[in-house]
Structure 1
């Protein structure tokens, strides 16, 4: 009798595991809680779910070091308010990096080029809105690289650079549309502007290619 009950119990547990999708493997959010939380915050949870589904890789993992949104914002703010280190330059932050059969990455940094340099380098930079510029992607499948003016409160007269650069590499999947790729870049830029509380309140347009 006990063996019958035991078999029935094991069968019920197995059925529950199948119905809940429990395979004993941890989800991306469980394996990389900080990276998953940061990417969700920067790009939006819905966008990240869509991206994960599009990449559709069983071995998908985060390959960047754990970096919270708070640490990212503090680092960028500190660089803006402290004297510029000409030897070290500006740090590039790995904001989000997924790898596996599919790949995706995004980086953030204070731009190396000044606003004047960007405005005059028209072969590379296209004006998307007031003080918002996007680089020529050189065709379908290129990165979306945009810069926008972000003045940090309390850094007037000290801030070595006012252009913040957000680069979103082209997701490694033919299923990723240009529209979705652009949507990721726009969301990242807007989130950064909010997190850094840019005093000039930059207006990042939905369509980076429309321009003015």
Structure 2
């Protein structure tokens, strides 16, 4: 009896270990971090494949290493849930890195291109305040672009109403996205940001169907 129980225990342990290893090796599982060429492919889902390749090729930094934790659908689901739980007094919002690309720099450091998103602490009404009106320009009824950040980056604010969220969420909790980089041409930066915004707006199925212009700076 003792030998049979021990064998069963060992066999169970082997099966559990095999299942655990299989689960760990499945990088396609939502929420798992994807790196390398697979990471670049996932970054392309957010930023546009051609945009990503063009940005990487324009930076003289060698082989790129990309990290992407979520697919557009998975990230949209997280943002959707946060919007549904939002209240007017909620001012703390999580920021998510959709894609981070690193290229080695000559000094031993790294060039970084990163796209991040969060529900903004800013509101649509705040865009008319003098301190924000100087740095944000309204592109259409739903979209604002940040003109000057003091560093190689660009920000976008989009009104995105989520079905099931509290009244006023669309104006009181807009979606804010940004792209930072090592100094890309403005045309490349705005192409990355515009594609990034469109990918998330499409996944979220925002009420009002906001239109993200391809040209963010005029």
CA-to-aligned-CA distance 1:57-81 (integer Å, 9 cap, x gap): 335323x562222221111000001
Compared CA separation, residues 136 and 53, structure 1 to 2 (3 A)? same
Show the 5 A alignment for 1:103-142: 103-120=112-129, 121-137=132-148, 142=152
Offset of 1:180 from its aligned partner?
Answer: 1.4
Give the equivalent residue in structure 2 for 1:194: 202
Match of 1:50 among 26, 51, 54: 54
CA contact (8 A) 1:126 1:134 kept: yes
Give the equivalent residue in structure 1 for 2:162: 152
Compared CA separation, residues 87 and 194, structure 1 to 2 (3 A)? closer
CA contact (8 A) 1:107 1:167 kept: yes
Match of 1:179 among 172, 187, 203: 187
Give the equivalent residue in structure 2 for 1:207: 215
Offset of 1:44 from its aligned partner?
Answer: 1.1
- Indicate the SS of the match to 2:144: strand
How far apart, CA to CA, are the structure 1 residues paired with 2:91 and 2:138?
A: 29
Give the equivalent residue in structure 2 for 1:73: 76
TM-score (normalised: structure 1): 0.73
CA contact (8 A) 1:132 1:149 kept: yes
Compared CA separation, residues 207 and 88, structure 1 to 2 (3 A)? closer
Does 1:162 pair with 2:167? no
Compared CA separation, residues 158 and 204, structure 1 to 2 (3 A)? closer
Offset of 1:166 from its aligned partner?
Answer: 0.8
Offset of 1:136 from its aligned partner?
Answer: 2.4
Q: Can you give the 5+ residue segments of structure 1 that lack an aligned partner in the other structure?
A: 1-28
Match of 2:96 among 93, 98, 102: 93
How far apart, CA to CA, are the structure 2 residues paired with 1:155 and 1:93?
A: 20
Q: Can you give the 5+ residue segments of structure 2 that lack an aligned partner in the other structure?
A: 1-33, 106-110
How far apart, CA to CA, are the structure 2 residues paired with 1:68 and 1:32?
A: 15
Offset of 1:138 from its aligned partner?
Answer: 5.3
What is the number of equivalent residue pairs in this alignment? Answer: 176
